[in-house]
Amino acid sequence: MLTSTVCAAVSAAGLGIAALTAYRKRFLAATRIAAFSLIPVGLVMTGVIDWLTGIVFKPTVWVGFGVLALSAVLFVIGRAVERHRGIGGRKERKAAPESRSTAVAPAASAPSLGAGRTGAEVAAPPKAQGRSGAPKDDFSDIEAILKKHGI
């Protein structure tokens, strides 16, 4: 009963402000103010306000919110620990033994697809090196992209 009275007073005040705004020839602003001021009366008429006040003043509802918050915190902690340990989801755990056998070195630019180099290929030094020790065709892929785009 008290909530409906307060909401009616708030709506009446809002409509009064909307009337003053319309008197000043600011009709668009007056329309927005009137729309906002009718919301409390609409909420009272639909029963939403009574429902909200019933929720706010029940201790079991607050305990329920606490349980939901605890559940969310535990979920976040579990995910954080899972990421910290490097354990992914179920799919990553099942695929982990397979992916370990085909691992790529951290400094590799692309995964190796073949059986690997032979001993002679590993022992041979790189053929084309400039003054800095880097291969000459260092920027060949960038040059190819620029040529492709006509630059």
- Examine the pLDDT at 134 and tell me if it is beyond 60: no
| Burial annotation 109-131 (CB, 10 A radius, 16+ → b, else e) | eeeeeeeeeeeeeeeeeeeeeee
Please tell me the predicted confidence (pLDDT) of residue 32.
95
Rounded distance between C-alpha atoms, residue 53 and residue 56, angstroms? 5
* Terminal alpha carbon distance of the chain: 76
Please tell me the predicted confidence (pLDDT) of residue 128.
52
- Examine the pLDDT at 106 and tell me if it is beyond 80: no
